[in-house]
Each structure stands twice: as structure tokens, then as C-alpha cells.
A and B are shown apart, each in its own frame.
Chain A
Amino acid sequence: MTPQQIHELLLEKFQDKIESANLGSLEPHITVKAEAIADVCQFLKSDQRLQMNHLNNLCGVDHLDAKTGTGRIEVVYHMQSYPQRHRICIKVALPRTGDGPNGLPKCPSVTKVWDVANWHEREAFDLFGIHFEGHPKLVRILCDEGWEGHPLRKDYVFPTHYQGMRAN
């Protein structure tokens, strides 16, 4: 299936939950409303025409406008289907701060759809500070448990000290 056909299928099923699509990009992607992402992913995996049974990649992207200090954080899902041999990229745009714990933005977890999303979401939480709702164990994975801040955010300030030791 081409990205256009996938986009049409999703529009037909989810109507206004699909925000926009950029199918002319090198990586054709469809932007989905945050609250619908788990349902969209479940549909993408279980629908017989799509069968997206493999999640290639899940990561965050920080779009920070340095001038205004505002912007959005995107969660990017790259997925593909072994039987159908097609792939698509789904995106979710989140505010930089939200009503999750510690003021983090919230996004529904897709761990129930793909098992691999478990560790990818932990990594995105660790490095970008995205709170995935419904994740079985959302703790830091790469950084230390007591680490402060989320290093891949554009406004992250590098610590001068780590546990009393000079860091640089």
C-alpha cells in the first residue's frame, strides 16, 4: 500500500483524529491527535489490509523555537509490515509542558500493541520527558535513576556537577 492509501484508510476510520499529513516528504508521515494514537496503532496493526506488525523506531523530536521559547515535542513512530511490505510514519505533536507528573506532556502508550515499544518509550521518557500513560514501568533506562532533566530537550542545561563531582 502506498502512504496515500494508508492515509485514506485512516481518514475513513478516524476522521477528525487525523490532524494532517505530509506525504510528499522523503519520509511520508501522518500526524495524529495524541489521545487517539493508541487506537490508531492498534488499528494499523490489526487491520488485515495494513498488518503493521513491526515497529521500527519510536523516538521523540524536540521542535523548540529558540526565539520565542515555545514549540512542540513530537513522538515519531516508524512502522512496517512484513506480510504487506509497506511502511509508514505516524507522528504525534505534544506541548512541551503538560499535565502529567512533574509537568511533563502526556501521550498514550502503545506497549500493548508492540512489545518493543516498552523500552523505546522508556528511552523517550528518559531523554525527552514524555509521560506515556499506561506504560507498565515508566522509569529511566539510559540515564541514571536520579538524573535531573531530560538531556535531548533543546533547552536542557548541562549540569556542571554530578553528585558532587565536577562534570566538565
Chain B
Amino acid sequence: MVLATQSEELVEFDVRTDEMLINMGPQHPSTHGVLRLLLRTDGEIIFGVESHLGYLHRCAEKIGENLSPVQWVPYTDRMDYLAGMNMNLGMALAVEKLIGMQVPEKAVVLRVLIAELNRIASHLVGMGAYGLDLGTFSPFLYAFREREIILDLFEEVCGARLTYSYITVGGVTHDLPANIPIPPGLAMLTGRDPKSTMSWIDACTLFLDWLEKRISEYHTLLTRNHIFIKRTAGMGVISPEKAASYGCTGPVLHGSGIDWDLRRDGDPIYTRMYEGFDFKVIVAPFGSDAPREAVLGDNWCRFYVRMLEVVEAIKLVRQAMAKYPTAQGEYRVPHKMNTKLPKDEVYLETECPRGAMGFYFVGNGDSKPMRARAKSSCFCNLSIAEELCEGVFLADVPAIVGSLDIVMGEIDR
């Protein structure tokens, strides 16, 4: 990567002037929430970045120490609010490992189905918002058009559109509904009668068929767009060593070429869920798919990992829906709210859309954990931004921060 400070063109025109401090955020639209970046600039060039976090700090960990794990589930929704289902899943699995609980097959299939559907919704927002950061508006609208249908499907399942609290200790709170009115958005887009009803599985299949055809449109609008490539390829390069040292996980790690997906390499209690599911771990480099300008670990690679993960998630949802009718057991095993947690500890990471979300519980024989820790993936992913943003143009800061796809609710907890 050629830093702006080393570029010959720049030295020729000499855009450097006086040093200036610029506050980007906490209300800046392209910091994805209430992140405040204190930029030390020299003209157009960034010389130092300091992140200020904590505007959304709710001390969820302290709350978790004063509640039983089941009661803490609604708080995990509010961490990564774009992927509440995945947050619930990680937390529920950690508690189940601690108390040694086995979940029936049907609950497992439902968990995979819902968590992967949420991954699609989350990556759609990540894609749309990244386009918005770089100045294109249409992909954002298209992404929200699709996400709206997923939210409608979630509302049918659990009754909420954002803070689901659906996956809980011992399974999930509801079974899939048998017959639902078709989501209005889906009816409009596929030309169905908006008053008609169908089964939840049919509605989801109809939606996935429709979404699969749209993915090539997103590639035309963003991935293959030359302006987009110029803004992202070769910018914000994270080497594999840096990615590991900075604790990057999820698409950021995959974009740097480290082949590590917790669904395949993680804790046995988590990988067991995905046994029998056929999916591919998306890892850079992409060979002939990548434009000439792209290098391993740049913004474009991270973006493309997300786009391909959507395709993989669609495959996983389809497989889970095929498994659902024959899945054995109940969707939930009873779990009392005041179940005593054993005097032991457990740390479990799950592959959330934004990376590895870890939950660490220390029990002391009481129903409330002695320590409930939520290790945020975005927190680690964001910590590399300070280094990445040094020596780039001011206009590239949103491109770099946006490619990390952060959610401040998870960082500040």
C-alpha cells in the first residue's frame, strides 16, 4: 500500500498545511453509531487517530452479574443489535456448556436456521451501509428492502423485529408458526396476493429464491463498480500476522487470508450444531474473482468475504429448512430461571456476522453468575483502525472504518 505521505503526486502538489484536530463523530453517519474518532490531520492527510468509545456503555456485564442467565438474554440482543439471534445463541451455548445441558435436535436445527438467516440480514446491512459510506445510496435501499422481509419472518417466529430474545437457554422460545400471512414486502416483490397465507418454510423459501437472483445485482452495483474498487482495493491492508495480533475475527480475519471459522474449528458444543451441514468457509485471496488492484487483506477483500458469506448462509438456511420437518425432539427443554450454576467457568466463542463473540461465565454455586463477560469482536476489530488510518486521506477513513463493519452497541456493551 502506498501511503498518501509517500505518494509522489502529493508531494508535487503539496496538499499539506497546518496540523489540525478534527472530531469525526460521535454523531457522524459513517462511524456506524456513536464512535468518536479524533483525527490529527495535516491538510488532507491523517497523521494520528484516537478512538473514543463508551458513548453507548450500559455496563451490561455488571447487569449480567445481578441477573440469572435467562434474564440476561434480552441484554445480549442489545449488544450487536443487527444480529441479535447470533448474540443470543452464543450466550445460550455458553450457559448450556456450563450447566451441562443437552439441546434436542429440533432446537439445534431451528437455531442454525435462525442464526444463519440473521447473518444474511446483518451482512445485507453491512453491505448497504458500506455503500452509503462510499457515497452510493441505491444498494442501501435494496439491502433494507430485503432485510425487511427477514425481519417480518422473524416477527412471525418470535414477535420482535430487532430485539428477539428468541434463542434462550435450553432451546428456542417458540416453534416455527404453521401458517402465516405472507410478509407484505415479499408479496409485493413476487407478485403474490398480499392477503394470502402460506407456511413459514414456504415463505422463507420464496424469499431465498428471490434473494439469490438479487445477489448478482449487488455485485454489479458495488463489487464490480470501478469507482468502488478504486475506493476500496489496496486500502486498509491488514497482513495475516497483524490480523492475528490485533485479535481480528470474522470477515476481517478471513479477508486477511487466515482460514479459521468457529463453525468448523470452534468449541465442540458449537461445531456439533453444524455437523451434517455442508458449507464453505470463505477465505481470501479470491484469485481471478478479485480485481487487479486488490491485495490480500484490503477493504475490498473484507467486503467480498461478506458478500460470499451471504451465499453460504443461504445454502445453510436451505439445508436447515430441509432438515426441520424430520428433526426429532422438542424445540425447548425446560430450564428453571433459578437453576444453580456450578462452581466452574466456561469461555465460549461463536461465529457471529462480525466475528467471534465470546461469552465467559464464572459460576459460584448461585443462580447468578459471579462474572458474566461478553468479549466483543468489533472491539478487537476496531482497535486496528487506529493503525490502519495513519497516513491515509481523510476521505478514506470512512472506507476503512466501514470495511471493519462495526456496531457500537457491541463495542461499548
Contacts and interface: CB of A to CB of B under 8 A. Distances in A.
A and B touch in the complex (CB under 8 A): yes
Contact of B371 (A29, A62, A82): A62
A127 interface: yes
B247 A78 contact: no
B98 A61 contact: no
Contacts, number: 87
Contacts of A140: 54
Contact of B61 (A29, A143, A152): A152
Contacts of A114: 245-247
A123 B380 CA distance: 12
A19 interface: no
A78 B268 CA distance: 17
A57 B375 contact: yes
Contacts of B383: 115-116, 118-119
A143 B61 CA distance: 13
Interface string A72-96: 0000101000100100010000000
A151 interface: yes
B244 to A, nearest CB: 4
A89 B245 contact: no
A142 B57 contact: yes
A55 B244 CA distance: 8
Interface residues of B, number: 38
A94 to B, nearest CB: 15
A76 B346 contact: no
B260 A82 contact: yes
A144 interface: yes
B412 A56 contact: no
A25 B345 contact: yes
Given A62-B371, A141-B53, A115 B246 contact: yes
B57 A57 contact: no
Contacts of B371: 59, 61-62
B358 interface: yes
B370 to A, nearest CB: 7
B372 to A, nearest CB: 10
B344 interface: yes
Interface string B350-390: 00000010101010000000110101000110011001000
A29 to B, nearest CB: 8
Interface string A52-75: 011111010111000000000000
A119 B387 CA distance: 13
B57 to A, nearest CB: 5
Interface of B: 53-54, 57, 59, 61-62, 65, 97-98, 241-242, 244-247, 258, 260, 265, 344-347, 349, 356, 358, 360, 362, 370-371, 373, 375, 379-380, 383-384, 387, 412-413
Interface of A: 25-27, 29, 53-57, 59, 61-63, 76, 78, 82, 85, 89, 114-116, 118-120, 123, 127, 140-144, 151-152
28 contacts: A26-B97, A27-B346, A54-B247, A56-B247, A56-B347, A56-B358, A57-B347, A57-B360, A57-B373, A59-B373, A61-B371, A76-B360, A78-B347, A82-B244, A82-B258, A82-B260, A85-B265, A114-B247, A115-B242, A115-B383, A115-B387, A116-B247, A118-B383, A119-B380, A119-B383, A141-B53, A152-B59, A152-B61
Given A26-B345, A82-B260, A123-B379, 18 more contacts: A26-B344, A53-B241, A54-B245, A56-B347, A56-B358, A57-B360, A59-B360, A59-B373, A59-B375, A61-B370, A78-B358, A89-B347, A114-B246, A114-B247, A115-B242, A115-B383, A141-B53, A151-B62
The 7 closest A-B pairs by CB, nearest first: A116-B247, A142-B54, A57-B375, A53-B244, A142-B57, A119-B383, A61-B371
